[in-house]
Structure 1
């Protein structure tokens, strides 16, 4: 019995030993497989989970105005953290008190004892990602990296630096919709020229030290970021300021829903100013939608210029032909066209009908000229380019609409209604471009928002005049319509705007726009008040369109009253404050001035003492804002132009988030 029992025990031992042997073999095989066969895979897997590359955002290029003032700039913002296990024990003990003292002096947020306690606690708790400071400027970063312990770098000192870029707009919300916001929103110049502005991101290897916490492996980047190019826009800050505030004043007085203004240089198509303001629920106005580029609607009387040119080019009617206004009411196929002046204007010439914006005169002229062949009128409008988008760089351009005789919606009343600006649709910028062609001796140029791309003082790309149509009509027709548009201001619907000191030419417009689908009731309609033209009348240098939508009817809604004063204010300020002849002659000198402003800015930024208040007197206000903002100041600006006075004396020490007031001339 004992022998049998011993044999059973031995058998069991052999089985267990064999099982252990088999398991050992399998483990050996698996280890060998992991080490030699799948080793590379698992090593890469471990590395991917604990070490990976992070993008280092490149500094986005600046956007400048035509005179070199900053419109948009990127300011680096830094966060400092501490890896408490990185320094050696003796280095930590020798420097922790001095580091705490330095942090207390610089940051001023808590006493040195508190910083000392926090640093010691981080060491004890093996904290490898302790927050030290955030929202630091570049100059503050350089200062904190020089502190005891931190000056030993990431490996020996434990300092962790994190950077993010903040996009600033020194002139605030003025023209913000056109300038754009940042790289994440495809809007305005920022969006249209992102390929130049964004640069190329760098890469930095970082190691995972805790959940969602990563620290740099080295002080050096694997791939250094390449900064983006600078974009020099066509915007003139001075004209932009005039246009913005002139429009804002009218919108506030008339309690209008929204409006826009665009000022364009006649010969080049450079947009010198553009403002788009919409009304908020609290009654204030701000830029939310680029109405000038994107809002396509019925232009009303401002479209009569296209009809006038068409009938004159057809050579069947001259400006002297007389029309009976029929008491201000003519009918076509049961639908009535009425003049705004009750009772009409009697019998007047075509030229006078345009000057007084008579609907009945212009409708009769267009209908009589083209009723037998409406396609000929449509071909004229298409030939002007009014049926196509302008193709501007800024995205979101509204689609124009010129009815075609083949459209299913074409009817017997389409032609006469087109004669006074209905059944068609244009954006404000498209309307301005057509008027600008008349001012530019018939040459239609594409509106441009950027004049060049620069890398420091090197021009990467220039954007010169782009001709869309070398001659929209004959010189004879141009001479006639230009004389008539000048008379609109002298003795027509725009006579309230006339000034003996400077000449203007243009056209008023008051359109009823469908406010809701259908437009069958008065509640579905609102007025759109327009003035579009150019100045000086004899040698045009600037063209301008002003549109105010949905003004308070009780206060007024005619284009001459609502939009005209904005146009007049812009022309007046340019003529009286900065003579337009001097401005045009100085266009080629912008680059030199801009380079000087670059030099001043970067000299103060890189060579000046970063621990004292800089002297910004004489600097462009926009550059001064960027410089001071980068140093950590809270900047308040009064006025426009160059800095004539600053509230803090240069050369003195300052603290983070200290306020400074700049007075600009």
Structure 2
């Protein structure tokens, strides 16, 4: 009996414990279901659903004429949920899949229809809820694919799933490639306009919900986005695509011809600072030239003779030198302490003016002028160089600009030969764009403007911000100094090292430069060891500058390495193209009237035609009322005026008499004679000088008249 009671106690105890456990479980279920339900549902969704950011379509980069320099093209990844439609069996799915496979093979032209069909049937057989079918599908292809069997039913009935990505494209490929720039996949490397205006171009990201399905694969829950992305804004660059094409091709052809290491070209609008063309080409190991580095804005090199303008600007502005100062070039060789300075070529004459020394780019002449002016106070010279704002960083719109270095008098590295060698472009490091900006200021009457790469920002086609011209320095030197500087630069093209750039159609001003490139602690001694940098920088038209341009070619091989011979022709090709296509820089042919011009020779002929020509030339006519428009006239010149004398060849021909044809043009001769049935044979062109039937002799229609003309 006691044993039975003991067993019952144990049973009751277990029963009570089970009841308490059940109550605890029930209470926990109640709490989870009703008090914490929303929380745990949200936690579950984290494992089954997630939000994914959608990158916005990146804004476009336009050339100044609206041409696309960079744009984002939409591409799509497409797939299928083969179990989406519960109302079709395997046989119906296979029938539709055959049509889908045929369509994919035809539209995408990647795999055969049999491969697509095999993939579709295998995915359904394995119970997959998502099977990728293709990537990098274009928009037009996507629209065609949407019409195929299964897919035409949409996502929920046909299982069609697609996801958009955007690929950056440059329609003109390499053209201005480095300036347009790029952003690396990681987003850490930002180059050119793409990098500088990344926040403008990027836009605002959207969101979409992704669902986790069998196999740990994530697929879009809906084809619609939860939050639509906002497209980035567009920027309009200052690049003129036509000039850019000319600049890049001219540079490329020259680099190939001279087997040069690299080169760059920049064309700038004088008044605004807008960069109309910028090309940077580097030779790769394969021998192919590509846009690799932006040498124009970041390549720091000793500029050589193009720096001589800066040196003379300082001396002229300080009043310590003048264009007519006399110099002795010493046969192109002068010693400064332990270093001998040479001219590139033996001078034509030793005793020259400063202007002539500059025209011939004499190192000896320029350095002697500067040393004579500043040897007792070299700091005044280097301060003057900085006063020009020469070599400033300019805070450009694109990153990566090189920081110029101009040695200061008193620096630890200053030596006894620093002053003369700085004056001819050594012991300083300057980028091509910084050099161009100085020359552009001379062309712009002393006003230095900031180089501009982007002119405006647009949103949905509307301009929301414009960039105005920024003035770096309103007057780099006095006006009279600018006048003298322009005389120097025009002289180089008219009489000096750039005579090959002299144009019959428009005047050019500029300076050649041929600099040795430093290697380690020296420049090399033999021709095989020495590497040169050839450059030309100038502006045109010289009498009314509209554009400035710099061309730099690094390490041209062979015997041709002078700036005027290597870089000058590139400048000329670009300038010729710009001048030929831009009417605004032409001087109108009727803008001035030369009142002292002689009246040209005037043929005898129709009064109507002669009067029209003379009125167009603004020639005064004394007695035009004495004749009618149908008369033939002989023009008599009296000083600066003319008068008409009526002649009657018609009347003479009516009487069978040969008139005097002397001085008549071909048109009038044929009009008079052939209209009346006479046979005329012409020799030459111009006006009549001789006729086979003399004036006053009888003529009949069976006669052949031979007329000889002046040319």
2:462 corresponding residue in structure 1: 458
Equivalent positions of 1:264-413 (< 5 A) are: 264-342=268-346, 345-413=349-417
Matched residues in 2 for 1:257 and 1:489: separation?
Answer: 27
Deviation of 1:380 (Å): 1.5
Q: TM-score, normalised by structure 1?
A: 0.81
Cα 1:343–1:141 shift into 2, 3 Å: closer
Matched residues in 2 for 1:583 and 1:485: separation?
Answer: 21
Matched residues in 2 for 1:423 and 1:32: separation?
Answer: 85
Q: What is the aligned counterpart of 1:443 among 436, 440, 447?
A: 447
Cα 1:19–1:521 shift into 2, 3 Å: farther
2:144 corresponding residue in structure 1: 143
Deviation of 1:140 (Å): 2.2
Q: What is the aligned counterpart of 1:43 among 22, 41, 44?
A: 41
Q: What is the aligned counterpart of 1:189 among 185, 190, 193?
A: 193
Matched, 1:173 2:174: yes
Cα 1:373–1:119 shift into 2, 3 Å: same
Q: What is the aligned counterpart of 2:65 among 62, 67, 81?
A: 67
Matched residues in 2 for 1:260 and 1:556: separation?
Answer: 18
SS at match of 2:429: coil
Paired residues of 2:393 and 2:404 also in contact (CA < 8 A)? yes
Deviation of 1:440 (Å): 1.1
Matched residues in 1 for 2:96 and 2:586: separation?
Answer: 61
Deviation of 1:371 (Å): 1.9
1:105 corresponding residue in structure 2: 103
Deviation of 1:318 (Å): 1.0
Q: What is the aligned counterpart of 2:549 among 523, 544, 552?
A: 544
Matched residues in 1 for 2:154 and 2:42: separation?
Answer: 28
Q: TM-score, normalised by structure 2?
A: 0.76
SS at match of 2:154: helix
Cα 1:127–1:517 shift into 2, 3 Å: farther
Matched residues in 1 for 2:450 and 2:183: separation?
Answer: 25
Matched residues in 2 for 1:498 and 1:53: separation?
Answer: 67
Matched, 1:215 2:219: yes
Cα 1:30–1:546 shift into 2, 3 Å: same
1:640 corresponding residue in structure 2: none
Matched residues in 1 for 2:348 and 2:585: separation?
Answer: 41
SS at match of 1:90: coil
Unpaired runs of 5+ in structure 2?
Answer: 589-711
Equivalent positions of 1:65-104 (< 5 A) are: 65-90=63-88, 97-98=95-96, 100-104=98-102
Matched, 1:564 2:568: yes
Matched residues in 1 for 2:44 and 2:529: separation?
Answer: 66
1:641 corresponding residue in structure 2: none
Deviation of 1:169 (Å): 0.9
Deviation of 1:97 (Å): 2.9
Equivalent positions of 1:453-532 (< 5 A) are: 453-516=457-520, 526-532=531-537
1:272-330 CA-to-partner distances (Å, cap 9, x unmatched) read 11110001111110011000011111111100000111111111221000111122222
Deviation of 1:222 (Å): 1.3
Paired residues of 1:386 and 1:402 also in contact (CA < 8 A)? no
Query: What is the CA RMSD across the aligned residues, in angstroms?
Result: 2.7
Matched residues in 1 for 2:586 and 2:459: separation?
Answer: 28
Structure 1 window deviating more from structure 2 (381-390 vs 17-26): it is 17-26
Cα 1:8–1:386 shift into 2, 3 Å: farther
SS at match of 2:200: helix
Matched residues in 2 for 1:545 and 1:176: separation?
Answer: 19
Matched residues in 2 for 1:158 and 1:517: separation?
Answer: 71
Matched residues in 2 for 1:36 and 1:389: separation?
Answer: 67
1:613 corresponding residue in structure 2: none
Unpaired runs of 5+ in structure 1?
Answer: 585-665
1:414 corresponding residue in structure 2: 418
Cα 1:149–1:568 shift into 2, 3 Å: same
1:351-408 CA-to-partner distances (Å, cap 9, x unmatched) read 1111111111111111221222222212211111124202111110001011223532
Cα 1:84–1:344 shift into 2, 3 Å: same
